[in-house]
Structure 1
Amino acid sequence: MVNDPTTTTSDAWDPVVDPARLRQHVEFLASAPRSRRRAPHIMERAETYVHNELAAAGWLVERQPFDQRWRIGSTDRHGHRALALKPRLHRRLRGANLIASLPGSTDRPVVVVGAHLDSVSGSPGADDNASGVAVLLETARLLSGMQVPPPVVLAVFDMEELGLIGARHAARELGRAGGVLGMICLESVGYFADTPETQRLPAGFERFFPQASAAARRGGYRGDFTLVVHRRSSAVAAELWRRAAAAASPALPSLLLRDPRPDGPLGMVIGLAVPPAGHLGRSDHAPFWNRGIPALMLTDTANFRNPHYHRATDVPGTLDYERLASVTAATAVTAVSWPDAVL
């Protein structure tokens, strides 16, 4: 039985979500490009910052290194073209994810809230993806204040820009024995544009996703919403997030987009054959989908809205921290509410 998601709002979280704290996180992380291979010292500095912030909020943080050989991925060179369209074969990649949980959390299957820490070369990556990490850190602070620790795990992924390398490792490790109920991916969530004609659509999108395309058209192609990409398996969570965002302050409109592909390897293969659908798997939720785990991707649509995508101009001053606070509130509510909503 699916519970009524209309009973869940973000009202209780609004007073404690701090836009200034979100900006502080972004400004620290986006001081320079972050990369395990190209800027290891900056990446280590960012990792230490995230680790310390999570620990200070009361989370138990585990650093999980990985060593991958002969992995098909992508290049992390800067440029406006989507990196999924720049395939590379990596001989060896050594990195590390950060995985955090609250002391005393139950043995119930968990909801994973994840964001990638790295950026492409030449870009400080304020939106992509210091914005997502900032939301994760503020979510950590909110959830640590709950009387009963929720069944939530926070995951900070390495090497997303090289082809979701860290998330692939984490999905395999966390997904063993069915321990993950669902996953929320925070991917470029801080750029908004109220001017008409600022939201673009991928080639072929209108044909495959006519309802979402019509909604964007009715809105004058304004980039003032958060896109919530989901599948049938995560439709309840997507609706939870939409309602929580609408109840936040400021209220944040969202556009729910259902990926028609099934979870598991078949969905990945279909994405290769249908490029508009392939765009829906361009972040760290995709490895969870591929392992049959329900997942959401929250995004401002990256290069389809943000002119600074993967460029040196992706700096903290371009983001909207009030609306980023609403993203945080809705994410916290959804992470806590998802387990009960699917009972």
Structure 2
Amino acid sequence: MTESGGDVTRLVQALGQQVDVARLRRHVEILAREPRSRRRAPEAMQRAEAYVEGELRAAGWRVDQRPFDVRWQLGSTDRHGNRALPLKLRLYPRLTGANIIADLPESGRAERPTVVVGAHLDTVDGSPGADDNASGMAVILEVARLLGQLPTPPAVTLALFDMEELGLIGSRVAAKDLSKTRRITGMICLESVGVFSAEPGSQRLPPGFALVFRDAATTVRAMEYRGEFTLVVHRRSSDAAADLWRRAAAEASPALPGITLRDPRPDGPLGVLIGLAVPPVNHLGRSDHASFWNRRIPALMLTGTANFRNTHYHRPTDTPETLDYPRLAVVALATAVTALRWPHAG
């Protein structure tokens, strides 16, 4: 069902009193002490997993680590730096990893439609990944704390994905497996959500973007290309959810406008094929939400646009002091509200 503006306002006010900026910063500082990767830095990955699992359990969530073993996966390189998409392609004969799935006790997820809120835990080689993607993980942990305090457990599933940097490997597995055990009504993906800039010209656009997405390009141009917004990427199936997130963020703070951007492709395999013909839209599927789109599950990606804003993207300098934590708190708050009031989730 579509939520009224008054309900969104009340939720933002209630949860906004509990959002903890210092806690968000602490999560990022702990997670971004070192690069973390199943293949390249397995001990660091285990430390990161132990930390997030402990935080989730402390917030009242049941945590399930789900190993996977997949063969002959077309993915991408996880070497640091920024490469054109065709140059990143790799074929992996075998990959073994693990996703982390969390639910609240008595949430009734088997009977009620579930909203999945997800982010990836791994980094590229050599980068501590404060923005990519400790920022997204910090939001997940703060959402977990906010929702864990509610008197009635909501039907929300938290998903921490492995091997996103290898080509969405973990979320491909998770989207398939979760679809078998619960009715997923929507998915929210947090991808590099912590970097903002007030400098004119700090926000860049991908080649060809302004031709395909004229309205969004016009909005960014009117902001003098300042990187002071969160981009809310969606498709027709998640139009209402994107608008809900934008409204919740606006209620929380005028300092964080949300720019909604509709990917014109349909959900399912056809959307993948269209992306091959129209390269600019491929940038809209560069994170774990795409694994859910490909299974026809409505999804949002929240992002600070990664390498199109953040000069530290995929580099050793992607460190905690480069993030804007008050704005990250607004991202967490709007995400919690959207997960609770996802349209048609009731």
Please report the TM-score for the alignment, with normalisation by the length of structure 2. 0.96
1:111 aligns with 2:118: no
**Match for 1:155 among 149, 152, 159?**
159
Q: Give the drift of 1:251.
A: 4.1
Tell me what 2:8 maps to: 8
Report percent identity of matched pairs.
66
Cα separation, 2, equivalents of 1:35 and 1:23: 21
Tell me what 2:311 maps to: 307
Query: Aligned residue pairs: how many?
Result: 342
Q: Is the 8 A contact 2:114 2:182 kept in 1?
A: no
Tell me what 2:270 maps to: 266
How do residues 97-246 of structure 1 correspond to structure 2 at under 5 angstroms?
97-106=99-108, 107-176=111-180, 179-246=183-250
1:89 aligns with 2:77: no
Residues 134-153 of structure 1: per-residue CA shift (max 9 Å, x gap):
00000000000111100100
**Match for 1:254 among 253, 258, 262?**
258
RMSD over aligned Cα, in angstroms? 1.4
Cα separation, 2, equivalents of 1:200 and 1:188: 15
Is there any run of 5+ residues in structure 1 with no aligned partner, and where? Answer: none
Cα separation, 2, equivalents of 1:339 and 1:100: 22
**Match for 2:336 among 332, 338, 341?**
332
How do residues 34-49 of structure 1 correspond to structure 2 at under 5 angstroms?
34-49=36-51
Q: Which amino acid aligns with 1:19?
A: V
Q: Is the 8 A contact 1:5 1:239 kept in 2?
A: no
Q: What secondary structure sits across from 2:188 in the alignment?
A: strand
Q: Is the 8 A contact 2:3 2:341 kept in 1?
A: no
Q: Which amino acid aligns with 1:33?
A: P
Cα separation, 2, equivalents of 1:339 and 1:129: 27
Assess, with a 3 A threshold, how the Cα gap between structure 1 residues 87 and 5 changes in structure 2: closer, same or farther. Answer: farther
Q: Give the drift of 1:80.
A: 2.1
Please report the TM-score for the alignment, with normalisation by the length of structure 1. 0.97
Cα separation, 2, equivalents of 1:91 and 1:7: 50
Cα separation, 1, equivalents of 2:261 and 2:53: 33
User: More displaced, 269-278 or 171-180?
Assistant: 171-180
Tell me what 1:67 maps to: 69
Q: Give the drift of 1:11.
A: 1.7
Cα separation, 1, equivalents of 2:24 and 2:150: 20
Q: Give the drift of 1:7.
A: 3.8
1:20 aligns with 2:28: no
Q: Which amino acid aligns with 1:205?
A: F
Cα separation, 1, equivalents of 2:160 and 2:86: 20
Q: Give the drift of 1:249.
A: 4.0
